Amino acid sequence: MAETGSWNTRLEWIDWMKAVGIYLVVLGHFYSFGEKFIYVFHIPLFFVISGFLNKKESDGQVFWEKLWFNLAVPMLLMVLVNFLYHSVLQCLKGTFIMIDAYWLVRNLVFGMVAGLDTLWFVYTLILLKIIYQFCPSNKVFYLLTIVMLVLAYVYNNNDLSMCPFFIKESSAIVNICLAYPFFAFGVLMRNYKEVLKAMNNKAALIIMFACGLFIVSLCSTYNGYVGLFGCNYGGNLFLFLIGAVAGTVMVWALSKFLGCSPKTITIISRGTIIILGFHKILIDLARTFFTPSIFDIVFAMLILLLFIPLVIAIENYFPLMAGKYRINKINR
pLDDT in tens, 136-174: 999 999 999 999 999 999 999 998 888 888 898 899 999
3-state DSSP call for residue 157? coil
Closest to 46 in 3D by CA, of 177, 214, 186: 186
pTM, two decimals, is 0.94
What's residue 191's pLDDT?
A: 92
Closest to 280 in 3D by CA, of 303, 313, 296: 303
Going from the C-alpha of 31 to that of each of 1, 28, 145, 231, 306, the distances in angstroms are 34, 6, 31, 19, 20
In the chain, DSSP assigns E strands to none
Going from the C-alpha of 216 to that of each of 39, 48, 179, the distances in angstroms are 10, 16, 18
For 25, residues 6+ apart whose C-beta sits below 8 A from its C-beta are: 42, 43, 46, 118, 275, 276, 279
Q: From the CA atom positions of the chain, what is the Rg in Å?
A: 19
The residues that bridge with 112 in the sheet, in sequence order, are 171
Distance in angstroms (rounded) separating the CA atoms of residues 63 and 224: 39
What number is the average pLDDT over the span 1-23?
Answer: 70
Q: pLDDT tens digits, residue range 197-247? A: 889 999 999 999 999 999 999 999 999 899 999 999 999 999 999 999 999
Distance in angstroms (rounded) separating the CA atoms of residues 322 and 311: 8
Distance in angstroms (rounded) separating the CA atoms of residues 205 and 238: 25
Instruction: Point out the least confidently predicted range of 9-18, 120-129, 240-249.
Output: 9-18
Nearest 5°: phi and psi at 112?
Answer: -75, 135
Break the chain into its structural domains and give their ranges: 5-331
Distance in angstroms (rounded) separating the CA atoms of residues 1 and 226: 35
Mean pLDDT over each residue of the chain, to the nearest integer: 92
What's residue 6's pLDDT?
A: 40
Nearest 5°: phi and psi at 232?
Answer: -110, 115
Going from the C-alpha of 218 to that of each of 39, 42, 233, 252, the distances in angstroms are 13, 16, 15, 19
Going from the C-alpha of 119 to that of each of 79, 80, 99, 174, 289, the distances in angstroms are 8, 11, 21, 14, 26
Q: How many CB atoms lie within 10 A of CB 252?
A: 26
